[in-house]
């Protein structure tokens, strides 16, 4: 068993850390306050190769492993989770799904633009009445022979106002339930695609979240992903990988808050010594460090399983569940360490707490992760503890 990162992985981590410090930190409070989309910052992320990290170089991607992607997500999320969710959706839900399940012509047409960041993508599954219960799709895609006609509404769509491509999940054969669902590549410039107002959110306020309306959108048949009826499984498979990205985001948020809390606790004095030397604060720091490290191991392990071609659905759900709970708990603790200063925007930790909350909700709530984990265990499908892998 190895716990070392490779030189390449360390280089990605360092590059993301420097990028975050130099490009994201200065304006993050203002972007959050004003819900200002990080346009210049996303362009720089594209130049750095952060928007198509795992895509093959053949399609202008970075050809990197999931661990490298997780390391970059973690660093960027320490400061700006609006930027990291834009990155995560494009990498894990859109590019990865297209590269693994797209046809050669779909990949040639869409992947280079998405991986290079010239275009952004959105993943359109959630609906006003279908969030956790993702099989209850009301968006319809009627088969018209050489094309489909798409009608419906999607909610909470990340990159909704900026993306050029949507991966849309829709029902073609309602009588078949989830086996009648399809996934489509839809260009936002097509007639009938309408973008609603930007949501005014608790956290990740600079990211671009919209409702999308599709009215009689003509989708060519060659834009369906996979076999007829593969759409729900496509969504589930893509979300399993996506959850590793969101787990890394939660880990970064927790680690960012922890680093700020330790720095503050060493500098701030009370009762004649730095507050870090009071046991009440020192024990908080010890608990934060321990639980964040446990989350890190789960997140890296899920990424490692994916990179090694093993089943990672249960491991990804565990990583997301635990890391997001740790992020919520310890951003609150980081505010407590800061006292009154933690309650004001200048000290960053209140933003990290607001950003943490969404990691317990999107790409499957904590409750849905528990369903995935328990079903995996009870079905006997997996979950192999890491120590057993070497025996296989």
Q: Which residues bind ligand CAA (CB under 6 A)?
A: 89, 123, 125-126, 132, 134-135, 157-158, 178, 232-233, 236-237, 239-240, 313, 362-364, 368, 371-372
Of 136 and 215, CB closest to ligand CAA = 136
Judge contact between 254 and 295, C-beta under 8 A: yes
DSSP state of 6: P
Instruction: Please provide the DSSP assignment of 191-257 as one string.
Output: TTEEEEEEP--SSSTTS-EEEEEEEEEEEEGGGB-SSTT-HHHHHHHHHHHHHHHHHHHHHHHHHHH
CB of 168 to ligand CAA, least distance (A): 12
Of 69 and 258, CB closest to ligand CAA = 69
Residue 75 known to be catalytic: no
Of 214 and 258, CB closest to ligand CAA = 214
Residue 7's alpha-carbon distances to 12, 13, 47, 49, in angstroms, are: 9, 10, 21, 18
Please count the CA atoms within 13 angstroms of the CA of 316 that sit on its side-chain side.
28
Of 69 and 264, CB closest to ligand CAA = 69
Judge contact between 302 and 321, C-beta under 8 A: no
Judge contact between 55 and 126, C-beta under 8 A: no
Cα separation of 50 and 44, whole Å?
A: 9
Cα separation of 335 and 260, whole Å?
A: 10
Q: Mapping DSSP to helix (H, G, I), strand (E, B) and coil, where does residue 265 land? A: helix
Cα separation of 383 and 239, whole Å?
A: 18
Radius of gyration of the chain (CA): 21
Of 186 and 349, CB closest to ligand CAA = 186
CB of 191 to ligand CAA, least distance (A): 24
Of 282 and 382, CB closest to ligand CAA = 382
From the candidates 2, 269, 363, 384, which is the catalytic residue?
A: 363
Please count the CA atoms within 13 angstroms of the CA of 4 that sit on its side-chain side.
4
Q: Which residues are catalytic?
A: 363
């Amino acid at each position: 068993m190895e716990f070392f990162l490779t030189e390449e992985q360390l280089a990605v981590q360092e590059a993301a850390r420097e990028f975050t410090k130099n490009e994201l930190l200065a304006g993050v409070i203002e972007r959050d306050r004003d819900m200002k989309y990080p346009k210049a910052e996303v362009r720089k992320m594209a130049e750095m190769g952060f928007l198509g990290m795992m895509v093959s170089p053949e399609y202008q991607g970075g050809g990197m492993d999931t661990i490298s992607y997780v390391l970059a997500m973690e660093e960027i999320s320490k400061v700006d989770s609006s930027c990291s969710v834009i990155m995560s959706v494009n990498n894990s839900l859109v590019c990865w799904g297209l590269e693994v399940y797209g046809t050669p012509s779909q990949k040639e047409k869409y992947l280079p633009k998405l991986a290079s960041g010239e275009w952004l993508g959105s993943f359109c599954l959630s609906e006003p009445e279908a969030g956790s219960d993702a099989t209850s799709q009301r968006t319809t895609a009627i088969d018209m022979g050489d094309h489909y006609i798409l009608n419906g509404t999607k909610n909470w769509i990340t990159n909704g106002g900026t993306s050029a491509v949507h991966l849309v999940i829709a029902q073609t054969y309602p009588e078949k339930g989830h086996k009648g669902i399809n996934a489509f590549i839809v260009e936002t410039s097509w007639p009938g695609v309408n973008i609603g107002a930007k949501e005014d959110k608790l956290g990740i306020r600079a990211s671009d979240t919209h409702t999308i309306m599709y009215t009689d959108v003509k989708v060519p048949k060659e834009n369906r992903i996979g076999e007829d009826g593969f759409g729900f499984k496509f969504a589930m498979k893509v979300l399993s990988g996506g959850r590793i990205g969101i787990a890394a985001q939660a880990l970064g948020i927790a680690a960012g808050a922890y680093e700020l809390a330790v720095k503050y606790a060493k500098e701030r004095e009370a009762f004649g010594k730095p507050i870090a030397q009071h046991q009440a604060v020192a024990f908080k720091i010890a608990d934060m460090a321990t639980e964040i490290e446990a989350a890190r191991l789960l997140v890296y392990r899920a990424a490692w399983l994916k990179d090694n071609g093993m089943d990672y659905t249960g491991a990804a759900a565990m990583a997301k569940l635990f890391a997001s709970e740790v992020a919520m708990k310890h951003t609150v603790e980081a505010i407590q360490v800061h006292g009154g200063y933690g309650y004001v925007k200048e000290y960053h930790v209140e933003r990290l707490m607001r950003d943490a909350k969404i990691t317990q909700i999107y790409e499957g709530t904590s409750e849905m992760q528990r369903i995935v984990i328990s079903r995996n265990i009870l079905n006997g499908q997996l979950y192999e503890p890491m120590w057993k892998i070497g025996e296989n």
